[in-house]
Amino acid sequence: MAYTIDEIVDLLNLEDFREVYLEADRIRKENVGDIVHIRALLEFSNYCKRRCKYCGLNCTNKSVKRYRMSPEEIISTTYEAAVNGYKTIVLQSGEDNYYTPKILGEIVKSIKKLNMDITLCCGELDYDSYAYLKECGADRYLLKHETAQNELYEYLHPCGTLQERIQCLKIIKKLGYETGGGFMVGLPNQTTKTIAMDLMLLKEIGCDMAGIGTFISHPNTLLKDCEHGSTEMTKRAVALARIMMPSINLPATTSLGVINDKEKVDIFSCGANVIMQKITPNEYKALYEIYPSNLAETNIRLQRIKLENQIKELNRIPL
Ligand code: SF4
């Protein structure tokens, strides 16, 4: 469905959104079926050179104990995920120059031998680095644009510009990665028009997946006094993403579950078809805090079984 910005704004502001949710769910079923893809998420380093104003990992936050997992630890944790049924690993970190493309590439090559798909989420890189990692076997790259509103982007991201972000996404797409974008709902000074622009940008780039999450303020950041975003508005944005981009992969982002566990379940009737399960080892898990979250203890086998059962209870098919 091709909407104008004004039409998206009108839809986001509807008093009663129920019909749109039903339409999003119908389109989801018709285009991507009842499967819910479970991705294992491994946060392998919380070092970051950037200063994003909303993020607990930004380099000015001196209260965070930093960690890096060794390549061997990353591969052995991924192996455990593979033997417990996961088919995709998402390797996520801050922007940490310690892991050069060469080091990351070797990790990717080793994991490919486990017959797993690999999503990388390691921030902005140059063309050659993205190309090299693709050659090594990476399948997907996730780089959320966070907001498509230029002034807001620059306020939140003192280390980069929206144009640089979009350029990276275009390179990722051109190189043949399954391309993941995304944004936050409820950022300070965001309007429904901003959200409409975010959705338009995902479509314009041709994103294959999009993480649309609720803004949650972190106590050790400059945005600590800002209110959390609205889960209702997040679900509306996800539903419209499904209607505008019928075949896109849409995760139920963890931020929804932080505010309210029910919302994370509800999102599956609003168009979502993917869920990420953190498998970061317990010793590191609490240290990877972009925003505060409720952390269950990592037990890769038991978490997988529990999640599969939850998905089946929704009459969906875990994969
Ligand atoms: S959002 Fe990402 S790039 Fe920005 S400070 Fe946090 S980890 Fe670093």
* pLDDT 10s digits, 97-156: 999 999 999 999 999 999 999 999 999 999 999 999 999 999 999 999 999 999 999 999
269 C-alpha vs ligand 1 centroid, how far in Å? 30
Type of residue found at 198: D
Q: According to the model, what pLDDT value does residue 262 have? A: 66
Tens-place pLDDT, residues 9-63: 999 999 999 999 999 999 999 999 999 999 999 999 999 999 999 999 999 999 9
Strand, helix or coil at 34? coil
Cα of 106 vs centre of ligand 1, distance in Å, is 24
On the question of pLDDT at 295 being above 80, the answer is: no
Q: Looking at residue 189, what DSSP letter applies? A: T
Number of Cβ atoms within 10 Å of the Cβ of 161: 12
137: which strand partners?
none
51 C-alpha to center of ligand 1: Å? 7
**Close Cβ partners of 144 (under 8 Å, ≥ 6 residues apart):** 180, 181, 182, 183, 184, 211
What letter represents residue 142's amino acid? L
Residue with tokens 């080793």, as numbered in its chain: 110
Q: Which residue has the tokens 């980069």?
A: 160
Distance CA 131, CA 108 (A): 13
pLDDT of residue 267: 86
Nearest-CA residue for ligand 1 atom 7 is 94
Q: Where does the pLDDT of residue 88 fall: very low under 50, low under 70, confident under 90, or very high at 90 and above?
A: very high
Q: Please give the structure tokens belonging to residue 86.
A: 């996961």
Q: Which atom of ligand 1 is nearest to the CA of 57?
A: 6
- CB-hemisphere CA count at 13 Å for 154? 4
Cα-Cα-Cα-Cα dihedral sign, residues 26, 148, 100, 174: positive
| Rounded distance between C-alpha atoms, residue 232 and residue 317, angstroms | 25
What is the CATH superfamily name and number for domain 5-318?
A: Aldolase class I (3.20.20.70)
Query: Which amino acid, 132?
Result: Y
Domain ranges of the chain: 5-318
- If one residue of 48, 91, 287 were mutated to test the ligand 1 pocket, choosing by the most ligand atoms within 8 A of its CB, it would be 48
What average pLDDT does range 213-224 have in this prediction?
Answer: 90
Ligand 1 pocket mutation pick from 52, 66, 142, 161 by most atoms within 8 angstroms of CB:
52
Going from the Cα of 50 to the center of ligand 1, the distance in angstroms, rounded, reads 6
Distance 307 CA to ligand 1 centre (A): 28
Atom 2 of ligand 1: nearest residue by CA position: 94
- The amino acid occupying position 177 is Y
Ligand 1 cavity residues, CB under 6 Å: 48, 50, 52, 55, 57-58, 94-95, 123, 290
